[in-house]
Amino acid sequence: MSNLKLGVEVVDAHDLMPKDGQGSCSTYVELHFDDAKLRTTTKEKDLNPVWNEKFYFNVTDPSKLQNLTLDAFVYHCNKSNSSKVFLGKVHLTGPSFVPYSDAVVLHYPLEKKNVLSRIKGELGLKVYVTDDPSIKSSSPLHDAEPSMDTDKHSAADEPPASFSSSILNIFSRKKNETKHTFHSLPDSDKEKHHQSSSPAAAKTSTNYGMHEMKSGLPPPKAMHAYAGSSYPMDYALKETSPFLGGGQVVGGKVKRGYRPTSSHDLVEQMQYLFVRVVRARDLSSKTDPYVEVKVGNFKGTTKHYEKTEDPEWNQVFAFARDNLQSTMLEVRVKDKNMLLDEVIGTVRFDLNDIPTRVPPNSPLAPEWYRVEKGKDKKKGELMLAVWFGTQADEAFPDAWHSDALFSGEISSSAYAQIRSKVYQSPRLWYVRVKVIEAQDLVVPANSRIQDSYVKVQIGNQILKTKPVQSRTVNLLWDQELMFVAAEPFDEHLIVSVENRVGPNKDETIGVAVIPLNIVDRRADDRFIRTRWFNLEQSMSSAMEGEQEKKEKDKFFSRIHLSICLDGGYHVFDGSTSYSSDLRPTSKQLWKKPIGVLELGILSVDGLHPMKTRDGRGTTDTFCVAKYGNKWVRTRTISDSLSPKYNEQYTWEVFDPATVLTVGVFDNGQLNSSDGNKDRVIGKVRIRISTLETGRIYTNAYPLLVLHPSGVKKMGELHLAIRFYCSSMVDLMQLYFKPHLPKMHYKRPLNLMEQERLRQHAVNVVAARLSRAEPPLRKEVVECMCDTDSHLWSMRRSKANFYRLMKVFSGILSFGRWLGDVSTWKHPVTTVLVHFLFLLLVCFPELILPTIFLYMLVIGMWNLRFRPRYPPHMDTRLSYADGVTPDEMDEEFDTFPSSKSPDIVRYRYDRLRSVAGRIQSVVADLATQGERVQALVSWRDPRATAMFMVFCFVAAIVLYMTPFQVSIILAGFYLMRHPMLRSKVPPAPVNFFRRLPALTDSML
């Protein structure tokens, strides 16, 4: 028997509706879970009752835990007539049942029973799952009247949060399957505390059917992922209730606090001490000055200037107020020396006297301060501005941050690699080049034209036409090529005519260099005029241009081209399945935005160390968010396994069928060579169409990453998301408009060409963003754009197969139901289906209304089970928990393979085996289709003759028989009673299986 229990702590309620006629109510809560009922004590004459009572439900079937619901009903007890009055309810689904370590007290707004109900107030609950055997389930109460006695409960300790393997077996629906174990190590401080603390004895007290116990801190978790199991709770999405700039978020709504709201209302307000160092004057001309700003143990420096009296820095330093270890701010002007830097003078500030600036107030004006050292009062002057502010300050993004550098870093040398940045990806164009012909080609005297082709190049993109042969100097290709280019057009279009004179030996006949700035642009499929371009003998001559040519050079070889920049397409720089932008390149085709997407990147918790520093594990993390052509990068917070960012960003939304991507990365550039790569920690995708308008989603997203050893949870990313829609009518109309620009339908690109152009587009975007400061490196761009999504892997193949089976599962279930009806497995159902069948045949006008009404009923029934949170990475859907280690190792293999020949041979044989089974299925489908064709192809003359006779008789009979009678007879024949059925297949099936197919003609 399972020890799994659902713990519910009923904390309190606020602002309830008075029901006793005296402005108050006597309140109790009734809990319903898995056909069990529990009830709290009654709090009389209290609109804000406090219970702090704990209940434990026994989970009878742990495998169905995620499908169960918990209902908390709040009632007023009417003593006059011994009845209860409904005050509201709270409905919780499976994702709300989390381990105790992740559970927090949430105040849920009370829901109405119907539209006319007058309900208000909130109910505070803490819901969690435990498997401690010492905890006994609460005794269920009968439907008796609630007791009027007020029960006083003693404060009890929380139950343990440890999950043993017996609990996590609830996520397995199949037995005897391979399982993988993933360990999540706790923080070192917590682990030491757990080892030093002795476990307390469990205390069990019976009080109104509730049992409480006491234990120590939880041990490290072990996650068992079973093939075909339900979704692991540790990998599930969790709703949070943080205190943001606008107030506390509960159930997607903001509870306004007493502090004023700010423009950054999706993040927690963080106080910073800002110091702006502008410039200095009247310093000695023999010094190499720089400024050092120091608060406690935190210290930041500007760059130094050599031999100058009036240096100008204009740099901002930001010190986190929570980490300030001193009440004094010191700004020192120093002289850079070889051995020891000399202090020129110091300016001191008392932190209690520094003003606080609240945007949108104007920035604080800098002032001149006298630099003093000891008795020498005159050492020059320094222009400074010092104030307290938040991350909403406009100086925050470009500031030097004290919480972004680790303890070993005492200067701003890593400043370029850590600060936040907003990037604009370049505008991408499709370049369509049609190579028509070439005339008057000049070839060397000792060679002739054999297999000639045209090579077209833009940057690293090189395409070639098919080779042609001709005995003349005029060649015809008439072939079209497609490229990707980015504005501004730094690279030219290079066209060269090549002649193959031998194996792997080509010679250049002529070259033309065409700047893309002079190429025609179009936003539709209008005709583009063709042009003749002169071919030069060498690349250097072609780069000089026609203006440098001498007048005596009047003869040129020419090539006939049609070149245009196609702006009517959307250039995909990511996977087509979850693109973040669908607008065409040409701005004149852009529509107005339909809404605004706001993202608050709060924090990351429970990170695993990605590197070692000073003999201990640590991580230097930053987040990257991509939506449309706008990329954002948070500041890098070093040496922290629980970094807090609290940065907010905004995007315009043009289409709801787009996806926001947020990734977390480890910065590999701090105190290391440029050869180190930024490593991915995890990634989250959020589809805009799944977000309700105006609701704030505050969730902790698990950062799941595939490793050769399996799935690993690297931490949790806390986000706050809100989508505002400017016009609901425009949003609804957008669902009925084309998904892509019109050019994708007028002149569609084939799948292979679109995938090739997508790869080129990612390379172009990565090259441009890597030139920014700080650079967004190529591996980060490729991870955000999912460049490896097209690569084959056994895991993805199985996952897509099971996705397809899930799609058709409804049709297959309907087919099995029809089979049960036709075989009279349930006689009552079969009789009812006969009646419905007669009704629909006699009144065919009811068929379509019945179908649509049935779909309406299904949709309304599923409304109560609709997802409350945005979808997230699903390990079961990805088939990551059922893959073998060798298949996972194959997915992480390089291309081409770097494994030994024996392993490659084994994997090739396995692939042949899988492909053989697929081949058999395809061959069987082809066989059935060929048998249908054989009915009228006279391949089997006797079978075709009998089919012709049958068709003639059937045509006469159906012509003379009413159509409805034919349908009724056919239906009754298919649903005939088993007593009228034979054990062998019927005659039509036997006849069809004897028809010939083309398998006899295959080699």
DSSP code string of 205-238: --BTTB----------EEEEEETT----GGGS-E
Res 513: pLDDT: 92
- pLDDT category at 406 given cuts 50, 70, 90 is low
| Cβ atoms of 103 and 126 closer than 8 Å | yes
* Predicted local confidence at residue 966, as pLDDT: 87
> In this predicted structure, what is the pLDDT of residue 761?
94
Least confident of 1-5, 219-223, 293-297: 219-223
| Residue 544: band (very low, low, confident or very high) from pLDDT cuts 50, 70, 90 | low
What is the number of alpha carbons within 13 Å of residue 599 lying toward its C-beta? 29
pLDDT higher than threshold 70 for residue 793: yes
Query: What does the pLDDT read at residue 414?
Result: 59
Task: Provide the pLDDT for residue 256.
Answer: 60
pLDDT value at position 555?
66
Q: What is the DSSP letter of 372?
A: B
- Mean pLDDT over 4-11 rounds to 91
- Asked whether the predicted pLDDT for residue 613 surpasses 60, the reply is yes
* Phi-psi sector, 46: left (phi>0), alpha (psi -120 to 50), beta: beta
Taking only the tens place, the pLDDT of each residue in 581-608 is 999 998 888 889 999 999 999 999 989 8
Tell me whether the CATH fold assigned to 5-234 matches the one assigned to 272-404: yes
Query: Which range is least confidently modeled, 64-68, 159-163, 241-245?
Result: 159-163
Report the candidate in 537, 652, 644 with the shortest Cα–Cα distance to residue 598.
652
pLDDT for residue 552: 45
Predicted local confidence at residue 553, as pLDDT: 53
What is the distance, to the nearest Å, from the Cα of residue 443 to the centroid of all Cα atoms in its chain?
56
Alpha-carbon Rg of the chain, whole angstroms?
Answer: 37
Region at 193 (left for phi over 0; alpha for psi -120 to 50; beta for the rest): alpha
Cα-based angle 936, 938, 940 (whole degrees, multiple of 5): 115
Contact by Cβ (8 Å): 373, 345: yes
Tell me the pLDDT band of 230, cut-offs 50, 70 and 90.
very low
Instruction: Give pLDDT, residue 434.
Output: 94
Q: Is the pLDDT of residue 262 over 70?
A: no
Q: CATH classification of 272-404, choosing from 1.10.3720.10, 3.30.2000.10, 2.60.40.150, 3.40.47.10?
A: 2.60.40.150
Q: Which of 1-5, 358-362, 530-534 has the highest mean pLDDT?
A: 530-534
Taking the domains of the chain in order of start, what are their residue ranges? 5-234, 272-404, 428-544+553-566, 576-790, 797-993
Segment among 152-156, 602-606, 762-766, 954-958 with least mean pLDDT: 152-156
Instruction: Give the model's pLDDT for residue 158.
Output: 39
Domain 576-790, CATH among 2.60.40.150, 2.30.30.700, 2.40.50.140, 3.40.50.1370: 2.60.40.150
pLDDT for the residue numbered 427: 92
> Of 669-678, 703-712, 896-905, where does mean pLDDT reach its minimum?
669-678
CATH of 428-544+553-566, one of 1.10.10.60, 2.60.40.150, 3.90.1300.10, 3.30.1540.10: 2.60.40.150
Question: For the segment 893-941, what is each residue's pLDDT rounded down to a tens digit?
Answer: 887 888 888 988 988 898 888 888 888 989 999 999 999 999 999 999 9
For 326-345, what is the mean pLDDT?
Answer: 88
Which pLDDT score is estimated for 408?
47
Peptide bond into 515 cis (omega under 30): no
**Alpha-carbon distances, residue 350 vs 84, 330, 354, 442 (angstroms):** 62, 9, 7, 83
Q: What is the pLDDT of residue 246?
A: 64
Residue 206 has pLDDT above 60, yes or no: no
Phi–psi pair at 329, nearest 5 degrees = -105, 130
- 8 A C-beta contact, residue 296 and residue 324: yes
Highest mean pLDDT among 139-148, 458-467, 956-965: 458-467
End-to-end CA separation in angstroms for the chain: 60
Peptide bond into 774 cis (omega under 30): yes
pLDDT digits (tens, 9 = 90+) for 386-399: 999 888 888 888 88
3-state secondary structure 234-261: HHCCEECCCEECCEEEECCEEECCCCCC
362-376, 620-634, 827-841: which has the minimum mean pLDDT?
A: 362-376
User: Residue 498, Cβ neighbours under 10 Å: how many?
Assistant: 19
- pLDDT at position 205 over 60: no
Whether 342 contacts 246, CB under 8 Å: no
**Given 3-state DSSP classes, what are the helix, strand and coil percentages for the chain, each rounded to the nearest 5?**
25, 30, 40
What's 5-234's CATH class? Answer: mainly beta
**pLDDT averaged over the chain?**
82
User: Can you give the pLDDT at residue 786?
Assistant: 87
Long-range contacts of 139-145 (CB under 8 A, 24+ apart): 139/209, 140/36, 140/37, 140/38, 140/209, 141/37, 141/38, 141/39, 141/209, 143/37, 145/77, 145/82
pLDDT tens, residue by residue, 121-150: 999 999 988 888 788 877 766 444 444 444
